[in-house]
Amino acid sequence: MLGDRDAKASQRAMWALGDYHKFATAAIWDFGPLLVRACGIAPGQRVLDVAAGTGNVAIRAAEAGADVVASDLTPENFDAGRREASAHGVELEWVEADAEALPFGDGEFDVVTSAVGAIFAPDHRKVADELLRVCRPGGTIGLIAVAPTGAVVDLFGLVARYEQHPMLADASPLEWGDEGHVRELFGDRVESLSIERRSFDPSPLADVELLKAHHPLLVALHRDLEGQPERAAALDRELADLAARWQDEGQELLVIVARKRRS
């Protein structure tokens, strides 16, 4: 069984696989402006984006005039993020950071965000605690999670069946798509909590070749199956079937916005 430090190193190495920026810009890049609008990010605010990847939310927050820090466990993605930020004409700070132990002071940020990022950290309670801790009293926490319905559930099941070593934590990221779970995590530490369900066109996620080439989970899974051509072929067939379902059924997201209590 991996210790915590080894598990973190393994997660960091996995999320550095493939070309995450190519996947993100093709599949989830619209999440950035969606979350910026939902949180009402405005000029002069100090914003932290947790598990920022290559800056999906962070760059859009900077475009809105905020002073932004993009943090992620996997700094290998920062170069692509810096290039993207430069192309958008904005500057922001990039910091290596674990969502379960953020290296920032209490109440340091007006807004704390994460779009389908921090939900992959193993300890959901620690993540919620840290998001709240670094947010100022009266500040905003905004998240995008995936509803635990349809083909995405089967995708995580597929990973669990084919992986040769654990790639995801026992606490599934899909639990963040359960409204009751989110409300329990934040509890009475927030004065308001809105959860909006939105439909999402998963067409890019239905591109099996995109997933296999660039999504870290699928790149890692196929590496695990090197030397096992029959299992790799079976995986590809299941991925193709899943992608067709995803295309037909669509997918729901949860846009979560919380206001931290002032006292």
Tell me which residue range forms the domain holding 38.
Answer: 4-148+169-201+250-260
Residue 8: partners with Cβ closer than 8 Å, 6 or more residues away: 73, 98
Tens of pLDDT, residues 163-187: 887 777 778 999 999 999 999 999 9
Give a yes or no: residue 36 inside a domain.
yes
Q: Are strands 251-260 and 135-146 parallel, antiparallel or unpaired?
A: antiparallel
Report how many domains make up the chain: 1
Q: Is residue 156 in some structural domain?
A: no
- Among candidate residues 82, 65, 84, the one with its CA nearest the CA of residue 25: 84
Instruction: Answer yes or no: is 37 within a domain.
Output: yes
Q: What is the pLDDT of residues 14-24, one digit of tens each?
A: 888 889 999 99
Residues of the chain above pLDDT 90, percent: 67
pLDDT at site 14: 86
CATH code, domain with 173: 3.40.50.150
Q: Is 239 inside a domain boundary?
A: no
Whether residue 243 is contained in a domain is answered as no
